[in-house]
């Protein structure tokens, strides 16, 4: 088994790179030698990450709305001009909204599907020519969720979207299997990020329970009795991106402390 995790000379594009898992992934890939495009909608957080990583090895693409094909095209063109064709795509941008199924509006459904599923399709399709040209060593890694391999109450739209990401990952992995490009999903359990904080706030508003109680409930879902850390998710991404993971293809890699057994 190869332990080579060097990504020297590779160009990695990470969406949603301004916080949480996206920032941790960007940090791991840069430390392994990759040149990293930090893509996201808000410029200030991306600039902070770039300053921490070193401006010489990173490129910031603000206004990268993953639901907007024109914004994707503009951002990708800028990233290519700065750092060359993309070798590694990490689809990390996402959002979650919760409501009982009967109270989930069509607008909420459409919004969640657009951000968490259609966006992964749009960005991957846009980057695909680069990955095909690169061939062996090129990677698509989508941050799904344990919601992509099991179900949770009150987030039907999110579960549907993340199941879709896993299904799309498996289909594309088979299409590209002979090209050397691998396509995988990483499925974190409840992870200590700003997105989780937002979910807790929504839970508190809906139920009237305290934030501490909500966090304890989520923590208890992990048999290890803790939340997953962004760095643990980033470690899984780094491994899949590495040369030694060339036979890992079409997989949904769960990072959840045993919450979901696959």
The residue annotated as part of the active site, out of 64, 154, 158, 190, is 158
- pTM summary value: 0.94
Tell me, what's the pLDDT at 204?
A: 75
Q: Which pLDDT score, from 0 to 100, does residue 258 have? A: 96
Q: Is pLDDT of 128 > 60?
A: yes
Q: What is the pLDDT of residue 18?
A: 97
Is the pLDDT reported for residue 65 higher than 80?
yes
Domains of the chain from N-terminus onward: 11-189+229-254 (3.40.50.720), 190-227 (no CATH)
More confident residue, 109 or 212: 109
- Residue-level pLDDT at 66: 98
Determine contact, residues 215/198, Cβ cutoff 8 Å.
no
Residue matched to tokens 């495009």: 37
Q: What is the pLDDT of residue 3?
A: 55
The string over 14-53, giving b where at least 16 C-beta atoms fall within 10 Å of a residue's C-beta and e elsewhere, is bbbbbbbbbbbbbbbbbebebbbbbbbbeeebbbebbeeb
Q: What is the pLDDT of residue 4?
A: 63
Q: With 70 as the cut, is the pLDDT of residue 246 above it?
A: yes
Quick one: pLDDT at residue 34? Answer: 97
User: Is residue 259 exposed (0-12), middle (13-18) or buried (19+ Cβ within 10 Å)?
Assistant: middle
Integer Cα distance of 96 and 158 in angstroms: 6
pLDDT score, position 56 = 80
* Structure tokens given for 238: 């780094």
Tokens coding 188: 């974190």
Q: Per residue in 141-195, pLDDT tens?
A: 999 999 999 999 999 999 999 999 999 999 999 999 999 999 999 999 999 888 7
pLDDT band at 1 (very low <50, low <70, confident <90, very high): very low
pLDDT at 38 over 60: yes
Mean of the pLDDT values across residues 22-45?
Answer: 97
What is the distance between the alpha carbons of residues 199 and 43, in angstroms, rounded to a whole number?
23
Tell me whether residue 158 is one of the annotated catalytic residues: yes
């Amino acid at each position: 088994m190869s332990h080579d995790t060097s990504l020297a000379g590779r160009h990695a594009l990470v969406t949603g790179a301004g916080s949480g898992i996206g920032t941790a992934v960007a940090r791991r890939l840069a430390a392994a030698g990759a040149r990293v495009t930090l893509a996201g909608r808000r410029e200030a957080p991306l600039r902070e990450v770039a300053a921490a990583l070193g401006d010489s090895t990173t490129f910031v693409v603000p206004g990268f709305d993953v639901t907007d094909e024109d914004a994707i095209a503009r951002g990708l063109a800028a990233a290519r001009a700065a750092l060359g064709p993309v070798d590694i795509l990490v689809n990390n941008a996402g959002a979650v909204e919760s409501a009982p199924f009967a109270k989930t509006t069509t607008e909420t459904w459409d919004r969640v599907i657009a951000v968490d599923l259609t966006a992964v399709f749009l960005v991957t399709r846009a980057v695909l020519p680069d990955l095909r040209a690169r061939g062996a060593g090129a990677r698509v890694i989508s941050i799904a969720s344990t919601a992509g391999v099991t179900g949770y109450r009150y987030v039907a739209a999110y579960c549907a979207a993340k199941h879709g990401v896993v299904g799309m990952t498996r289909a594309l992995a088979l299409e590209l299997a002979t090209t050397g490009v691998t396509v995988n999903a990483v499925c974190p359990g409840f992870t200590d990020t700003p997105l989780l904080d937002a979910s807790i706030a929504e839970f508190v508003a809906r139920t009237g329970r305290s934030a501490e109680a909500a966090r304890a409930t989520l923590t208890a879902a992990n048999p290890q009795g803790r939340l997953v850390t962004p760095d643990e998710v980033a470690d899984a991404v780094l491994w899949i991106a590495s040369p030694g993971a060339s036979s890992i293809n079409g997989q949904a890699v769960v990072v959840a402390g045993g919450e979901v057994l696959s």
